[in-house]
Amino acid sequence: MKKLNFILILSLLLSLVYSGYCQSGWLPPVYFPPGKLLCDTTPWKLVLLDNFNGDSINRDLWYTFNTNNWGDHDDWAESRIEVYGGNKTIVKDENVQVSDGTVKLKMKQETTSWKCNSCPGTPQTRNYTSGYIGSKMRFNNGAKVETRLRMPIFEDAWNTCWFWALNDVNEIDFAESWSNNGMPSWPYIGKHKPHNNYNLHSWRPRWDTNGYFPKDIDISNRYPNQDWSDWIGHTRFRYEDWHKYTCEWDTASVTIYLDDVLINKFWKYYRDVQVQVYDPYTGAKISRKMREAATCTLPPGDWQITKGYPWNSENSVSKLIFSVAATKTNKLHNTSGPVDLGAMEIDYVRMYQRHPEEDGHTELSYDTAGALIINGPGNLCGSTIYSISNTYAGGTWSSSNNAVVFVDAPEENSKRVERNPNSSLTTTTLYYTFNPGGDLNASPVTAAKLITVGQVPERIFTTRVSNLFTGQQNFNLWVNPNPTGTSYSWKIWYGRSGPEHYFESEGQHVTTPAIDHDGLGLYFLKWELLLTKPCGPKVISGSKENTSGEGPYLSDAASFMSGDSLTFNLEARFETEMQWKAYRQSIEDNLSTAFITDIGDTFAITQLLNKISVQQLEPWLFFEDSAAATLATQLTLTGNPALHAKMYAGIPLYPAPVKLSDKFKLRLPALATLLRSAAFIPAEMKPEREQ
């Protein structure tokens, strides 16, 4: 009897541990022994290349409709109508057009009807048609994609570049742009603005294939230069221009590059840590939670799997998709004829794998190195000539974005490069492409050189944070854009009526200690900034003195922007305890999901904290002539944390299948089978969707 009781108690304890993970909606920790290496360092091998030459899409490489698991035809319900949730269009082959070395995926307003041949019922009608290409090649063991493209902006546009797993579990969006309200008017504050994200999704699997029942979770991040200050300062990320996007999906991480510059690395594994940060409102160090990323080499022990990470790395059978869509059903233009709304235009697509043989793929020959080298400096500090060997004369010059312009040079094998005065981009990649024998169908020889573009005018931003509830105020100062290799040294004088306080700090974003608020809105601020840049040092100084107590006026740009449009002085105001707590909580929430690789790097942590603090200010920006609009914005944004900007400075797919840590492993196979049986699944945890 005692033995039976012991077995029953053990069964109950193990079922509680197991059900704990089930009810959490995510996967259990993974134990890594000493010496475990997570990263695969095998070189990438080219397996797919399309330069979109000719006048039609290469149907050996691409489908122009949604196939999923239904074969190579469109005779099924969702092959052309709403091919994924929210897409209110009908996909048409005619909307995929190849010309002048690019493919255009066109969006049109045109009333069209369609149904598959074997589908019952009558054809369905939509007001929009779209272009779509999906790779015939499937990727089961990770991949790297490189592509150069631009995306349209119009009301309710939805552009997507993504990996989609045919088992309905994994999804990686390496570029996904939205413009629900089209392009708003300047100064954009409090308005819904177009944005371009990169996202990771883990979709809930079929209930009988995984005992932990992970929920649908996503990790959403925005490409740089999309904060409110980038918009008001005219340094926003223009995704409607040409850019090179790169995504590496690997054994331990997903890495995102923009124009060959590292943007983010999502590490699969992490553990929570406490870090000490400076609180400018108390003057003391406080403890805050962050995530320590499990890099290629990691200490032994239990590591969490990042929620939202595409966890199912076996049999994912992912395909590559480029698509445009509209998210509205009614017509945008009051006309009966077709209207071109825009197009995603793609210059090229290259796909790589580390182990193509595991998916039955063959490495392609593509010369990107060898003797073809672009000669010239890594920093563009003025009009500069870049050249290549005479052996390869007669090729073409291009760049990954519009940061530079090309000017004819004396020699055929060289180009004079200058900064584009209409661009705020600080980096670009120069390309020289040569086709042997002039054969456009032959694999081209390409050289690339990443350069930093100097002499881009800096925008200085200041925000007086006024906390009427606590009677405190302090100042945030920062500079945009942030060129690679630049350091910042600040000297700041501030007070209620004069330079009563002095503060020095380093970094792109700085925050002063708080001082008392006089209740009248008066303040004094003066700064001097030394920028040490690749093209030489530069000093910028300025000041702002509020002697009237009035805040800026949204309708009067001169009340918050200098005459040269390079300095912006704004205010944020908190009047109640609830408002202040909501702001502080939004900072803490974003910091708690941020990843760091070195928990001892206090400078990086401080910069991240200061940046988050600025990002979260938009709902609380104060303008004398728009208090009602500001309040409405506050209620909207603070009521939904998902709308707040999220910071993931380096996040965590493998190993698969997922295993419990040693101390939680189920030792009794019979018990494990029992615990996994449908009889033990609570009704509320059973799947909602059909199998």
Which is more confidently placed, 688 or 128?
128
Q: Which residue, among 370, 369, 450, 374, has the nearest Cα to 413 in the 3D structure?
A: 374
- Per-residue model confidence (pLDDT) at position 24: 52
Instruction: Determine contact, residues 234/565, Cβ cutoff 8 Å.
Output: yes
Can you give the pLDDT at residue 107?
Answer: 95
- Residue 38 inside a domain? The answer is no
User: How does pLDDT run across 242-251, given as a tens digit for each residue?
Assistant: 999 999 988 8
Residues 550 and 565 reside in one and the same domain = yes
Specify the number of domains making up the chain: 4
Q: Are 82 and 115 in contact (CB under 8 A)?
A: no
Q: Indicate the SS3 state at residue 57.
A: coil
Q: Which residue has the tokens 């790589």?
A: 352
Average pLDDT value for residue range 221-227: 93
Is 70 exceeded by the pLDDT of residue 140?
yes
Q: What is the pLDDT averaged over residues 410-423?
A: 88
Same domain, 486 and 447: no
Q: Which of 404, 428, 453 is the last residue of a domain?
A: 453
Residues 511 and 622 in one domain: yes
Domain boundary among 422, 453, 484: 453
Whether residues 201 and 241 share a domain: the answer is yes
Lowest mean pLDDT among 331-340, 595-604, 659-668: 659-668
Average pLDDT over residues 263-286: 94
Q: Does some domain include residue 669?
A: yes
Residue 446 belongs to some domain of the structure = yes
Burial class (CB in 10 A: 0-12, 13-18, 19+), 555: exposed
- Could you tell me if 439 and 465 lie in one domain? no
**pLDDT confidence of residue 654:** 26
Q: Are residues 392 and 470 in the same domain?
A: no
In a domain, 690, yes or no: no
Q: Worst-scoring range by mean pLDDT, 199-208, 347-356, 372-381?
A: 199-208
Q: How confident is the model at residue 340 (pLDDT cuts 50, 70, 90)?
A: very high
Q: How many CA atoms lie within 13 A of 449 on its CB side?
A: 21
Domain annotation covers residue 301: no
Q: Are residues 539 and 592 in the same domain?
A: yes
Distance CA 260, CA 450 (A): 7
Residue 448 shares a structural domain with residue 511: no
Domain boundary among the residues 400, 419, 453 is at 453
Residue 313: what pLDDT?
52
User: Which range has highest mean pLDDT (136-145, 485-494, 510-519)?
Assistant: 485-494
The whole-angstrom separation of Cα 338 and Cα 464 is 50
- 62 and 159 within one domain: yes
pLDDT > 70: percent of the chain:
81
- Asked if residue 533 and residue 394 are part of one domain, the reply reads no
Judge if 150 and 116 occupy the same domain.
Answer: yes
Mean pLDDT of 81-94: 84
Give 373-414 pLDDT, tens digit per residue.
899 999 999 999 999 877 777 788 999 999 999 998 767 788
| Predicted local confidence at residue 122, as pLDDT | 87
Q: Looking at 367-371, 422-426, 505-509, which range is the least confident one?
A: 367-371
Q: Is 319 within 8 Å of 623 (Cβ atoms)?
A: no
* CATH number where 581 lies: 2.60.40.10
Closest among 276, 244, 240 to 261, alpha carbons compared: 244
Residue 502 belongs to some domain of the structure = yes
Quickly state the pLDDT bin for 279 (edges 50, 70, 90): very high
pLDDT of residue 541: 97
Residue 691 belongs to some domain of the structure: no
Give the residue, 658 or 426, on which the prediction is more confident.
426
471-482: pLDDT as tens digits = 999 999 999 998
CA distance 666 to 659: 10
- Assigned domain for 426 exists: yes
Q: Mean pLDDT throughout 438-453?
A: 76
Average pLDDT rounded to a whole number, residues 452-460? 91
Cα diameter, the chain? 97
- For the CA atoms of 337, 343, 348, 353, the dihedral, rounded to the nearest 10 degrees, stands at -110
Domain interval for residue 678 = 2-28+660-685
Distances (CA, A) of 581 to 529, 623, 645, 687: 32, 21, 17, 37
Q: pLDDT-derived band of residue 191, with 50, 70 and 90 as boundaries?
A: confident
Is residue 317 domain-shared with residue 421, that is, in the same domain? Answer: no
Q: Residue 262's domain is classified under what CATH number?
A: 2.60.120.200
Report pLDDT digits (tens) over 564-612: 999 999 999 999 999 999 999 999 999 998 989 999 999 999 999 999 9
